[in-house]
Structure 1
Amino acid sequence: MSSAAATPATEVLLPGTVDPGGLQVRTRHLPPPATGRVLLRMDATGVSFAEQQMRRGKYYDQPPFPFVPGYDVVGTVVATGPGVDPALTGRRFAAVTKTGAWASLLHLDAADLVPVPDGVTAAAAETVAVNGVTAWQMLHRTAHVPHGATIVVLGANGGVGSTLVQLARHAGMTVIGTASTRHHDTVRRLGATPVDYRDPAVYRRIRDLAPHGVDAVFDHVGGPGLQDSWRLLRRGGVLVSYGTAATKDEDGNSRLPVLKLFARLALWNLLPNGRSAHFYNFWAGRRRPEAFRARLREDLTQVLALLADGTLTAQVAAEFPLREAAAALALAESRTVAGKVVIVP
């Protein structure tokens, strides 16, 4: 049980639709954790594409401004609330938060904590928290890609993409990955064949590498290129869409591009050509909290174990202290780095 004293916490606040430099740093006092909750000291959090969309007000289902961003966190329990095992204190865990993790301390439900294996650094674990679960679930729960398949990963140098490439290679798949030429060596080291995403003929280059089509395409870009991703599939192939990066800078309703995407995927699934299209939603099934948490815990535990045994290599693009979150966000948005930008205390 924690003491009754409030604890000061440093937080990074997203006040509205601002440039990265418009982020604000504040200090507020957190009360002791409530029943079923813990007080977690942040050891690492990160910058995902979600935060890049949120600062523009473009992330589907984001909370109203102002709020503290931060999609996931790795940290150490420093206090427990009523009904929580005090033995959790001092242990490290990962959790997916959606918002709130850009803080030195935060309250979390104890049921959302997933143990981090000994020997895995906080920064390394952070790179596979939401990214690792996303990659694992898309590959094994959504697409059900078989051993020996050939897949395409758009953005193979990114946080999700680099993890997805490694998981696919571990599962015996051939991977073609798009990235800018500066990241081709990284993509090769991960085990994929790189293709320049800036090449106007990028889809023809992929078709040259897989003339009979591919078994799956993982597309976070959306927009007009989604049609080209669909055309890459062989009969029985699966398209998994998990973002609308192509429209992130467009003005207007943040929900409209997603709704248009849903309609397009639904239409394609009506076509009698043996292919299928899916939109991956990390939060699908959350209306059944126990089942959602069990699935998340199982999948993140699998990914963390692969990180611990060396099957996965953490792709840390850079580390920034919490008070320099603005610089971390700007670097992540620059598209000049491979892997995930990590924020530390």
Structure 2
Amino acid sequence: MRALICEQPEGFESLRLGDMPIPAPGPGEVLVEVKAAGLNFADSLMCAGKYQVKPPVPFVPGLELAGMVTALGQGVDTLKPGQRVMAVVDHGAFAASALCKAADVFPIPEGLGFQQAAGFPIAYGTSYGALVWKARLQPGETLLVHGAAGGVGLTAVEIGKALGARVIATAGGPDKCAIALAHGAEAAIDYKAEDIRERVKALTGGKGADVVYDPVGGDVFDASLRAVNWNARIVIIGFAGGRVPAIPANILLVKNVDALGFYWGSYRQHRPDLLAAGFAALSGMAAAGQLRPHISEILPLAAWHQGFETLLSRRATGKIVFEP
């Protein structure tokens, strides 16, 4: 089968297209014919040997996919051949077929195609878990979403609105701000031209945000600390801005602020029941028209270099999807 192969974790530039045998599902596993696979920032880290998970080489990168079930391993009775599914994998999505644990495979929400579903599990799963499990976002609260036109940020805008929050988005440039507004943000801040702290304070009557969703880090995180309400919660999703911020504990203390780290992938191991419940809730939101996955680019695997470059330069809006 055709696959994108990492032979040494030296960065995405060292990947190559090649052929690998089609794997056979073992007990508790499912073989899925991949119709589309979502590209994530974590894929670039894994290809560089900097991710939490370090597969033995050679390996096929790719953490999420959508496709058709083609074979079931022993003991799998919750799925059937020919079923349209989306899945999360430790690696292996950037190939014509992928092995998945049955517990990590979910029906595609009604109304979504393979391309939309390919970028659904991680981005929407992350935002749902961060806002519901960690931040305990309540209707009527103000949610500040950074990187709001990006792969995970845009899903946080949609889910925050669906949960009844007032959403303020930040993004780089008027075009990206417009995308966040089109997906449910009440207001958008262009951080390239506006001061985040001053604008948030102005938009909230001087109170600040109740919840901050931050996949960016760096200067954006620093600004968030000075733009939050008393008893606010800041959920740390990642560091796409490049700098891991040092958190001044005195600010957390004075305002009773919670700084919460959130790594959605670890819930697959520790709380798979929450994942299943989360996807059930997300499927309901999708069926109600509250979630509209935004695809920035659809590329063949042969254009993987272009996909990674677009992602890492932060030119993408929504998700980049590969079709094997």
**When the two structures are superposed, what TM-score results if normalisation uses the length of structure 1?**
0.85
User: Counterpart of 2:261?
Assistant: 279
Unaligned runs of 5+ in 1: 1-8, 249-256
User: For 1:84, which of 61, 73, 76 is the aligned residue?
Assistant: 76
Name the CA distance, whole Å, in 2 between partners of 1:270 and 1:120. Answer: 41
Name the CA distance, whole Å, in 1 between partners of 2:25 and 2:195. Answer: 55
Name the CA distance, whole Å, in 2 between partners of 1:238 and 1:27. Answer: 47
Matched, 1:184 2:163: no
Matched, 1:201 2:183: no
Contact 1:114 1:301 in 2 (8 A): no
Go from structure 1 to structure 2 and tell me whether the alpha carbon gap of 1:86 and 1:296 turns closer, same or farther (over 3 Å shift): closer
Q: Which moved more, 1:97-106 or 1:65-74?
A: 65-74
User: Counterpart of 1:326?
Assistant: 305
Q: How many Å apart are 1:61 and its aligned residue?
A: 3.9
User: For 1:240, which of 235, 240, 250 is the aligned residue?
Assistant: 235
Letter in 1 for 2:119: T
Q: How many Å apart are 1:118 and its aligned residue?
A: 4.3
Name the CA distance, whole Å, in 1 between partners of 2:156 and 2:199. Answer: 21
Q: How many Å apart are 1:21 and its aligned residue?
A: 4.2
Contact 1:317 1:340 in 2 (8 A): yes
Q: Secondary structure, in 3 states, of the residue corresponding to 1:247?
A: coil
Q: How many Å apart are 1:126 and its aligned residue?
A: 2.0
1:94-109 alignment, distance < 5 Å: 94-109=86-101
User: Counterpart of 1:6?
Assistant: none
Name the CA distance, whole Å, in 2 between partners of 1:223 and 1:184. Answer: 20
Go from structure 1 to structure 2 and tell me whether the alpha carbon gap of 1:137 and 1:287 turns closer, same or farther (over 3 Å shift): closer
Name the CA distance, whole Å, in 2 between partners of 1:64 and 1:102. Answer: 16
Contact 1:10 1:25 in 2 (8 A): yes
Name the CA distance, whole Å, in 1 between partners of 2:17 and 2:231. Answer: 50
Letter in 1 for 2:181: R
Deviation readout 1:45-75 (Å, 9 max, x if unpaired): 1111112333343334443554321111112
Go from structure 1 to structure 2 and tell me whether the alpha carbon gap of 1:186 and 1:272 turns closer, same or farther (over 3 Å shift): closer
Q: Secondary structure, in 3 states, of the residue corresponding to 1:336?
A: coil
Q: How many Å apart are 1:340 and its aligned residue?
A: 0.3
Go from structure 1 to structure 2 and tell me whether the alpha carbon gap of 1:117 and 1:241 turns closer, same or farther (over 3 Å shift): closer
Contact 1:152 1:214 in 2 (8 A): yes
Q: Secondary structure, in 3 states, of the residue corresponding to 1:246?
A: coil
Q: Percent identity?
A: 30
Q: Which moved more, 1:84-93 or 1:333-342?
A: 84-93
User: Counterpart of 1:310?
Assistant: 289
Letter in 2 for 1:190: H
Q: Secondary structure, in 3 states, of the residue corresponding to 1:30?
A: coil
Q: How many Å apart are 1:33 and its aligned residue?
A: 1.5
Deviation readout 1:257-286 (Å, 9 max, x if unpaired): 5xx76xx48x46972532211001113445
User: For 1:295, which of 268, 274, 278 is the aligned residue?
Assistant: 274
Letter in 2 for 1:246: G
Contact 1:42 1:76 in 2 (8 A): yes
Name the CA distance, whole Å, in 1 between partners of 2:192 and 2:13. Answer: 28
